[in-house]
């Protein structure tokens, strides 16, 4: 029988796993001929986390979950669900979370038995960078139904772009595990969630169809054998029987390829980001009978950060709307020094778009807006500057960054409210709130996030490119105390290094 309760639910603790390798952005800027100040001062980029050979979404998840369980003295049997948000899946059918479960079971079995995770519900959720927030909302509802329930939500991703692309310098990687339960020590999450969803193509990773003949032709061209009859080779493949004995010997005329790197339109994605956030906030306000001015009551503003300064560059319009009808309105208008562009004054849509873009830039340069950035956004950016984009984990890393920074500076206190603006391309935004609990400082001081980030191993550019091209099979920074992949057999079955664990006494 379920035990229903009206007690608060939310985030009890967090654990982050960040790869031990990083590339200084200054090194990448030099290799690409980009002015470092453009990336550092303009976008807030200092370093990007780089997965070592053998690291992926599954191993990073396992490392984060292991830390979360051990520092909270929880046994696997106490965890009712383990939900993963990721867009870096390593399998098209078998959830990436089950690969992590394989590692975690092997690690904890000596203490708790081989079936220690047997009754744990495990699944992946995918919606670009918002998948872990979707998993969090789902798990909050599940926990709310029974006060004995404890769940873990994990965000784990490798944000990878093509070499020399405009997204390359925003790369990053890592995992954040979230402990969800009743009476959370860290953050009680509100029941109202604003949502906005529109089907768009701002960033996506399609399954791509490639003709066999095109692959054969490209290979022969590289081998300088351009006079081979490609059609005859394809015909020959089609009449070798139904058995599949190689990559090209499949029963389809085309091969389906998946790439970890996306197709994306940066400016369009920025527009989608701004629009979805504004729409989700409007939905949140309708549910809570408030106006956009409610954001002025939130002590910290936490965003999905594809790069560190994304939020401060995109939030100007929402800030302007939030000021209307408040004592800030007249002061902000005076600081902007321009009237808000109206559609009636610009017959050409392109002219209106340009005028509005200039107006929102003017808003972001005002002293009022800069004060908001420095007090309520900047603390969440600090870790992102050192890690890069973590896709699903970005907003959770922002939370950890804001909490640890606020603890060290003495600027946060129990009872303060945090506003979350999650975004995932494709595209969707969710807006929700959380309230700091009495035990937040004790939980936060154990993060040691920035201490860990200071003790990573830098890469030179050559080593970074080797890892990016997957040309290295052995780790550069192996550790006996971390999970990592050691082999993949011919059928795709993966083997892992499992850290040693102590037997239960």
- Tens-place pLDDT, residues 18-54: 999 999 999 999 999 999 999 999 999 999 999 999 9
Q: Torsion over CA of 234, 235, 239 and 241, rounded to 10 degrees? A: 10
Confidence tier at 243 by pLDDT (50, 70, 90): low
- Number of Cβ within 10 Å of residue 29's Cβ equals 18
**CA 496 to CA 483: how far, in whole Å?**
7
pLDDT at 227: 79
Instruction: Name all domains of the chain by residue range, CATH numbers in brackets.
Output: 9-190+440-479 (3.40.47.10), 194-202+263-436 (3.40.47.10), 208-257 (no CATH)
- pLDDT exceeds 60 at position 346: yes
- Cα maximum dimension of the chain: 78
pLDDT (0 to 100) of residue 5: 46
pLDDT value, residue 151:
99
Nearest to 82 by CA among 210, 180, 193: 180
pLDDT tens per residue across span 357-391: 999 999 999 999 999 999 999 999 999 999 999 99
Comparing CA positions, the residue from 345, 340, 344 lying closest to residue 357 is 340
The predicted model gives 227-248 an average pLDDT of 69
Q: What is the pLDDT of residue 224?
A: 83
pLDDT tens digit string along 437-471? 999 999 999 999 999 999 999 999 999 999 999 99
Q: Residue 208: beta bridge partners?
A: 257
- Sorted by sequence, the CB contacts under 8 Å of residue 332 that are 6+ apart come out as 320, 323, 363, 366, 368, 369
Return left, alpha or beta for 286; rule: phi > 0 is left, psi -120 to 50 is alpha, else beta.
alpha
- Of the pLDDT bands very low, low, confident and very high (cuts 50, 70, 90), residue 217 is confident
Tokens (6 digits) for 28: 């990448």
Question: Computed from CA positions of residues 450, 14, 100, 71, in that sequence, does the dihedral angle turn out positive or negative?
Answer: positive
For residues 394, 481, 46, 171, the Cα torsion angle rounded to the nearest 10 degrees is -50
User: What is the structure's pLDDT at 1?
Assistant: 37
User: Two tokens at 111?
Assistant: 């203490």
Label the pairing between strands 21-24 and 457-458.
parallel
Residue 60: closest CA among 175, 149, 172, 190: 175
């Amino acid at each position: 029988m379920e035990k229903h309760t009206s007690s608060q639910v939310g985030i009890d603790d967090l654990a982050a796993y960040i790869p031990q390798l990083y590339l200084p952005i200054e090194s990448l800027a030099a290799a690409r001929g980009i002015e470092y100040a453009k990336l550092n001062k303009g976008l807030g980029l200092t370093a990007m986390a780089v997965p070592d050979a053998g690291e992926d979404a599954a191993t990073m998840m396992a490392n984060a979950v292991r830390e979360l369980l051990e520092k909270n003295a929880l046994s696997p049997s106490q965890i009712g669900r383990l939900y993963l948000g990721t867009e870096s899946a390593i399998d098209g059918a078998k959830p990436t979370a089950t690969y992590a479960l394989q590692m975690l079971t092997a690690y904890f079995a000596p203490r708790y038995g081989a079936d220690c995770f047997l009754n744990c519900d495990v699944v992946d959720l995918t919606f670009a960078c918002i998948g872990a927030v979707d998993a969090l909302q789902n798990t909050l509802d599940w926990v709310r139904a029974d006060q004995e329930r404890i769940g873990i939500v994990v965000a784990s991703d490798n944000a990878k772009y093509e070499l020399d692309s405009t997204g390359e310098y925003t790369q990053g990687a890592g995992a954040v595990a979230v402990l969800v339960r009743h009476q959370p020590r860290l953050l009680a999450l509100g029941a109202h969630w604003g949502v906005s969803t529109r089907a768009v193509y701002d960033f996506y990773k399609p399954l791509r169809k490639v003709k066999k003949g095109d692959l054969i032709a490209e290979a022969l061209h590289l081998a300088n054998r351009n006079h081979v009859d490609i059609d005859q080779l394809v015909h020959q493949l089609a009449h070798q029987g139904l058995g599949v004995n190689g990559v090209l010997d499949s029963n389809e005329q085309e091969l389906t390829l998946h790439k970890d790197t996306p197709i994306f339109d940066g400016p369009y994605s920025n527009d989608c980001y701004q629009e979805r956030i504004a729409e989700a906030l409007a939905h949140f306000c309708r549910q809570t009978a408030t106006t956009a001015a409610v954001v002025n009551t939130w002590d910290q503003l936490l965003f999905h950060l594809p790069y560190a300064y994304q939020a401060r560059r995109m939030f100007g319009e929402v800030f302007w709307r939030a000021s209307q009808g408040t004592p800030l309105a007249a002061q902000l208008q005076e600081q902007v020094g321009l009237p808000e562009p109206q559609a009636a004054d610009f017959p050409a849509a392109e002219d209106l778009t340009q005028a509005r873009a200039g107006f929102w830039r003017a808003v972001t340069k005002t002293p009022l807006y800069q004060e908001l950035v420095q007090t309520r956004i900047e603390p969440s950016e600090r870790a992102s500057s050192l890690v890069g984009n973590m896709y699903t984990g970005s907003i959770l890393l922002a939370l950890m960054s804001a909490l640890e920074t606020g603890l060290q500076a003495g600027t946060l206190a129990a009872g303060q409210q945090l506003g979350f603006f999650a975004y995932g391309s494709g595209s969707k935004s969710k807006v929700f709130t959380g309230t700091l609990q009495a035990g937040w400082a004790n939980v936060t001081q154990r993060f040691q996030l920035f201490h860990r980030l200071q003790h990573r191993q830098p890469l030179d550019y050559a080593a970074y490119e080797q890892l990016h091209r997957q040309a290295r099979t052995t780790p550069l920074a192996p550790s006996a105390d971390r999970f990592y992949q050691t082999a993949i057999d011919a059928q795709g079955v993966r083997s892992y290094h499992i850290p040693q664990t102590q037997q239960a006494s």
